Structure 1
Amino acid sequence: MKTQNTIPKIVLTAIAIFVTILALFPLLWVIIAGFKEKTEVLATPFRFFPEQWRVTNYTDILSDAVFQQAMLITFGGAIVFAALTLLVNASAAYAFARLEFRFKGAIWLYVIMTMFIPGMAILLTSFIVVTKMGMLDTMGVLILPGIASAGHMFFMRQFYLNIPQSLEEAALIDGAGRIKIFTGIFIPMSFPVFVIVGIGAYLGYWNSFVWPTMTVTNIDLVQIMQYLYTFRSERSSEMGMLMAGSALSALPTIILFLIFQKYIISGIKISGLK
């Protein structure tokens, strides 16, 4: 009987290890390729490990002032973007979940419809709007246009709909207003959901390339993906530095996932129950 239970566990463990190796292989290759000479990265036949381990790619890119600036400005922008995304979408989600107002159904339908419009379809019109507003080459053009998200509103609204109505009714009886209820009851209960939405917003900002390329030319506002792209154009021979820069640019995201992994799992469980 014990043998029958052990064999499936061994098989599942082996599958889990295999899938983990497949998932981590690209990241491991990028990290190790950062220790290669620039001619080794794309050399044939393929070699996973370098002939001679070198740290010059990492030291050179870490000493690059433009790389440092791009990492800092992108990280700061991503944090602000994630915070504003949570504030705006959580407030809207609470309103749609708990408040009653005129044309609520029609407005919610209009919001949900935007989920089915590809971002590329409105890229040109969005660029024209921000140009006429004089927002080019500012942090505002990178942060403000993408804050409101129908997908995030929908996810949060579904969570708020499942919070017991009795909690809100008790708070209203005690004299609490809607803002007090939202900040005192709903926000503290929303931490797992906030982690999921916040990290999603952070990743969306961090990995953005097309929009920053269209709207930002100021070297002081260059985003990390714009910086890394220069290795595919002006600096195409420095592939080792590109690998080192890619590995370092992934580091903040990896750290965030390690810090919030417990809440990410909780959020995924919550989303599966709604």
Structure 2
Amino acid sequence: MAVITAEPKAAAAEIPHRRVHHDAKWWFYAIGKAIAGIVFILAALLPLAWMVVAGFKSKTEVLQTPFQFFPEVWKWENYAQILADPTFVRTMAWTFGGAVLFTLLALTVNSLAAYAFARLDFRFKRTLWVLVITTMFIPGMTILLTSFIVVTRLSMLDTLAVLVIPGAASAGTIFFIRQFYLSIPASLEEAAMLDGCGRFQIFVRLFLPLSKPPFVVMGITAFLAYWNSYVWPILTITTPERYVVQQYLATFRSERATELGLLMAGSTLAAAPVVILFLIFQRQIIGNIKMAGLK
């Protein structure tokens, strides 16, 4: 009888030990996860923070050795001087207007194509869909020369149209929006047809109001693609008044290479709209990423 009662007591004595071991393992995992998160955040934000701080440095402090993160004297006039430059302000406004126009055109064209592939039945639908998807695997650089020849023959060089129209249609955007449209119940579309709505009315009144999640992600993607474009603009735009912001910064660096503090200030202001855009729509972006992960 003594042996029988001793085994439960021994097992009961091991339970606190196991619990302590489990708690220690959990704390070790939590601390490791926190450290990895901090390292990742610092690695992502350090270049941006350095660019912002470098905008307050003098000409010689930006690349001085030994490296010094903060300036000895904060030169606030760098930002004031770049903002007082009418060329920079005009370039920012021109680029922002073109990015908004490009985003609206991209969402319009790609959402219409996505609705057609998701909901309509027509001849050669599968063949056309395969052709559209295939373009996703063609690098943009491989068609750069042929695209330049096309826009040259269309007399689109050195215009806003050459920056907005050629890249508006995107197979990736069509695929993303199409997958979202496929998840919308067909009963909603059938009810709209019973009410006398045509295909275009169904798209405008039913699908567009429900398209905010994919439109936010794809809209920001299109905006960033236009804002950060460099290779295509330098091939097609030659008038300084029509330069996009990346062209302006590249020209500024080549012509005024010694004024690195001023260049960092301009780069910071050029990155500001992108950062602000992300801060405004960060909840929608994270929510859409979680939704895509669940699907």
Counterpart pick for 1:191 among 209, 212, 223: 212
Q: Which residue of 1 aligns with 2:9?
A: none
Query: Among 240, 243, 249, which residue is 1:228 paired with?
Result: 249
Distance 1:138 1:17 in 2: 45
Q: 2:204 is matched by which residue type in structure 1?
A: T
* Coordinate RMSD, CA, aligned: 1.5
What is the deviation of 1:57? 1.4
For residues 130-178 of structure 1, the C-alpha deviation after alignment (integer angstroms, 9 at most, x for no partner) is 1111111110000000000001001111111111111111111221111
CA distance in 2, matches of 1:6, 1:173: 59
Deviation (angstroms), 1:7 = 5.2
CA deviation after TM superposition for structure 1 residue 6, in Å: 5.3
CA distance in 2, matches of 1:96, 1:25: 43
Matching residue of 2:76: 55
Distance 2:201 2:294 in 1: 27
1:109-188 mapped onto 2 (5 Å cutoff): 109-188=130-209
Instruction: Determine the structure 2 residue equivalent to 1:249.
Output: 270
Match of 1:33 in 2: 54
Q: Distance in 1 between matches of 2:149 and 2:292?
A: 36
* CA distance in 1: counterparts of 2:58 and 2:150, whole angstroms: 45
- AA in 2 matched with 1:158: Q
Alignment partner, residue 100 of structure 1? 121
Question: Would you say the 8 A contact 1:61–1:245 is kept in 2?
Answer: yes
Distance 1:269 1:173 in 2: 35
Structure 2 unaligned segments of length 5 or more: list them: 1-18
| Secondary structure in structure 2 of the residue aligned to 1:183 | helix
What CA distance in whole angstroms lies between the structure 2 residues aligned with 1:167 and 1:213?
47
How big is each residue's C-alpha offset from its partner over 1:28-80, in whole Å with a ceiling of 9 and x where there is no partner? 00000000011111111111111111112111111111100110000110011
Q: Rg bigger for which structure?
A: 2
Partner letter of residue 236 of structure 2? T
The answer to whether structure 1 residue 208 and structure 2 residue 226 are counterparts is no
Instruction: Give 3-state SS (helix, strand or coil) of 2:255's partner.
Output: coil
- Give, in angstroms, the shift of residue 272 of structure 1: 2.6
Gaps of 5+ in 1: none
Q: Spell out, residue by residue over 1:83-104, the C-alpha distance to the aligned partner (whole angstroms, 9 max, x if none).
A: 1100000000000000000110
Give, as a single letter, the amino acid of the residue that structure 1 aligns with 2:200. I
Q: Could you tell me whether the CA contact under 8 Å between 1:231 and 1:238 is conserved in 2?
A: no
Alignment partners' CA distance in 1, 2:34 and 2:201: 48
Contact 1:231 1:239 (8 Å CA) reproduced: no
Task: Check the 8 A contact 1:96/1:104 in 2, yes or no.
Answer: yes
